[in-house]
Amino acid sequence: MPHMTRALRGATALALTLPLFVAGTALVGATGASAHVSFVVAQAPAGATFKAVLRVPHGCDGQPTTAVAVTVPEGFAAVKPMPKPGWTLDVSTADDAAPDASRGESVASGVTEIRWSGGNLPDASSDEFAFQGHVTGVEPGTVLPFKVVQTCADGAISWSDVAAPGQDPHDLAHPAPVLTVVDASQVAQAADAAHHGTSHEPAPQAAASTMAVDTAWMRQPPPGASVGGGYMTLTNTGSEPDRLVAVSADFAGRAEVHQMAVTNGMMMMQPIEGGLEIPAGGSVTLAPGGYHIMFMDLARSPAAGDTLDVTLTFEHAGTLTVPLAVAPIGAGAAPAHAHGHGAGGAGSHGGGHGHGAAQ
């Protein structure tokens, strides 16, 4: 039976009474049928860690949003919600939640609901609520619905409708946000084939991509280290800006895009909220001392000479898996086998305008 864990900051009673509140209150209509709660990126690679970002585009008929609750479906394990300044974060767990066997973990309990409350999101504004999890035990093509209750002062909107087989989700009054599970390896193969011109079959995902990745590498972490930094150049050949919104790798429990910045005269490392933007027709270089990918909770220590797969998820270009070359400890530049690797359907390897790199 689900029970509440210790709240990060109070509001436990509110989280427990939410279903009764929704059931006994007339649902407040959305400001537009198409302006529903949805994921910024709606595809998640099977067997990988994924950062899910929910976008709440409006309040309830003029009222501000004061709470957002998300029900986590089976197939999305090892959930870690992101705290949000000005909001109270609570979670519900179940002792019999399925362990994430694909990662060799023994999980005694799992998160079944996430709730942010006590905030104030005006009806005229939008915001994002994020959490991380591992896509496990489900096949590519599976659709995972995340039912959401958006609470306002005088009622709530339950985004919980799930399309039946063959039904158009656009016909639903209050569709639940969904993640479609995709095969990351197939995406990577299609992207590689499209880049080298060896494919004799259509590769729609790779052909549609406008993102190229070049010189992806990392240093071998020191003995006993639990983190490592990843570097590469991202080139957007499309006509509109794109964003790198999620990174995952099987050798790390989680991965985030970070930047080094000077704050109050001190060099500080901090995560980038909302994704790293790559301008239309330009490039962003992730390099030591600037933007970089931080691999955390290393499951194993990458060794010099290794080439490891890393999955990148972009807001528009979709999901790409790229080879990451490992250089020796303390290396100041990418190893030779890091050069020449690319991903993306545009056949581009870089160039651009070199935004955002601090060498």
pLDDT digits (tens, 9 = 90+) for 2-25: 433 333 333 333 333 333 333 333
Predicted confidence band at 184 (pLDDT cuts at 50, 70, 90)? low
Q: Is the pTM of this model over 0.85?
A: no
Pairing of the two strands 283-286 and 88-94: unpaired
- C-beta neighbour count of 93 within 10 angstroms: 17
CATH class of 3-182: mainly beta
Rg (CA), the chain: 21
pLDDT over 90 at 165, yes or no: no
- What pLDDT, on the 0 to 100 scale, is given for residue 124? 85
Mean pLDDT score across all residues of the chain = 75
> For the CA atoms of 79, 80, 86, 89, what is the dihedral angle to 10 degrees?
60
Which of the given ranges, 57-66, 81-90, 203-212, 256-265, has the highest pLDDT on average? 81-90
- Position 158 pLDDT exceeds 60: yes
User: In a 3-state reduction of DSSP, which class is residue 1?
Assistant: coil
CA distance 235 to 177: 30
Tokens of 322: 């790229």
Mean pLDDT across 259-264? 72
pLDDT tens, residue by residue, 309-352:
999 998 888 888 889 999 999 888 888 777 644 444 333 333 33
Q: How far apart are CA 334 and CA 224, in angstroms?
A: 22
**What average pLDDT does this structure show over 285-294?**
90
Band (pLDDT 50/70/90 cuts) for residue 101 is: very low
**Residue 104: Cβ within 10 Å count:** 8
The pLDDT of 180-190, averaged and rounded, is 63
For residue 109, what pLDDT is reported?
A: 53
Mean pLDDT of 220-225: 89
| Averaged pLDDT, 257-269 | 74
d(CA 100, CA 94): 14
Reference 158, options 146, 148, 173, 170; nearest CA is: 148
State the pairing for strand pair 318-327/211-219: parallel
User: Could you count the other beta carbons within 10 Å of the beta carbon of residue 78?
Assistant: 19
pLDDT of 76: 93
Candidates 235, 258, 246, 242; CA nearest to 317 is: 242
Q: Which residues in the chain are classed under CATH 2.60.40.2230? A: 3-182
Task: CATH 2.60.40.1890 in the chain: give the residue spans.
Answer: 184-338
CATH topology of domain 184-338: Immunoglobulin-like (2.60.40)
